[in-house]
Amino acid sequence: ADGSVEIPVIVNVIYKSSAENVSDARIAEQIAVLNADYSGTNSDASKIPSEFLPVSSGDTKVKFRLVNTVRKSTTKTSWSTNDDMKKASKGGIDATNPSNYLNIWVVGKMTSQGRTILGYATFPESAGLWNDGVVIGAPYFGKTGASSPFNLGRTATHEVGHYLNLRHIWGDANCGNDLVSDTPTQTTANYGKPTYPLYNTCSGVQRSVMFMNYMDYVDDGAMFMFSAGQKTRMQSVVASTGLRSGL
Ligand code: ARG
Ligand code: ZN
Ligand code: CA
């Protein structure tokens, strides 16, 4: 493939309460959010600041198609990032053919170092392994019934970005490197709903921060773009020469 791809998706739902057993409608809603965000047809793309329009991705040429939903009930109330939800032997659900499908696991609650997390993902280096895919907490999956301010389905948009080789926009360090040249260097993560423009200085250079990028940590309603450089990085991964060519 040239980098344009329709990724087949398996959604694995592991639930204790009925609220955690997200409905088929909510799963469809989440897939629709991924398709809108990755094609640049999200309604809030109109909010992209004009200074960033020249470097916005537009259509990343990555699409998503739900192929199956697997459900399992559990007595577990909390999960960690140790991948137990991906093991049937630990009360989870084994991945379906991870070389060829994006597996998404939805669990009720997840913590890391004592704090609730919204989701986590494997990078392309894990392609095809038993633990390859994306995990999302049920309150942050889909839109209807999800938990504000993370109720627009963007946790999946963010985590799938990691799955397709994107780093956090601040490079996980003070003025770190996200390996994408058109995303301005950023001191740190942003949270909440920052007001545009927001400036920061790295190595003596003041820049306007692209906090509305899906790979920052802002609220779902405050993130609405990928950059062209991020698109290139994702396309390389799904291309015939890329680590995820099996999708
Ligand atoms: N990996 C991040 C976390 O742990 C997900 C951030 C998603 N951000 C969002 N606005 N949905 O929690
Ligand atoms: Zn992240
Ligand atoms: Ca950058």
From 118, 148, 152, 169, mutation site for ligand 1 pocket: most ligand atoms within 8 A of C-beta: 118
Whether 159 is catalytic is yes
Q: Can you give the pLDDT at residue 225? A: 99
* Ligand 2 center–CA 207 separation, angstroms: 22
- How far does the centroid of ligand 2 lie from the alpha carbon of residue 216, in Å? 8
What separation, in Å, do the N-terminal and C-terminal C-alpha atoms of the chain show?
10
What are the φ and ψ backbone dihedral angles of 155, each rounded to 5 degrees? -65, -40
pLDDT of amino acid 3: 79
ipTM of the complex, rounded to two decimals: 0.94
134 torsion bin: left (phi>0), alpha (psi -120 to 50), beta (else): beta
Full 3-state SS string of 186-218? CCCCCCCCCCCCCEEEECCEEEECCCCECCCCC
Q: Is the CB of 37 under 6 A from ligand 1?
A: no
Distance 155 CA to ligand 1 centre (A): 5
| Tens-digit pLDDT string for the chain (247 aa) | 577 999 999 999 999 999 999 999 999 999 999 999 999 999 999 999 999 999 999 999 999 999 999 999 999 999 999 999 999 999 999 999 999 999 999 999 999 999 999 999 999 999 999 999 999 999 999 999 999 999 999 999 999 999 999 999 999 999 999 999 999 999 999 999 999 999 999 999 999 999 999 999 999 999 999 999 999 999 999 999 999 999 9
The two structure tokens encoding residue 173: 């360090």
Nearest to 122 by CA among 130, 134, 110, 137: 134
Q: pTM to 2 decimals?
A: 0.98
- Note the pLDDT of residue 2: 78
Q: Counting every residue, how long is the chain?
A: 247
Burial 54-86 (b: 16+ CB within 10 A, else e): ebbbeebbbebebeebeeeebebeebeeebebb
Q: Whose CA is nearest to atom 7 of ligand 1?
A: 155
Q: What is the pLDDT of residue 1?
A: 58
Chain position carrying tokens 């493939």? 1
Task: State how far the Cα of 18 lies from the Cα of 45, in Å rounded to an integer.
Answer: 34
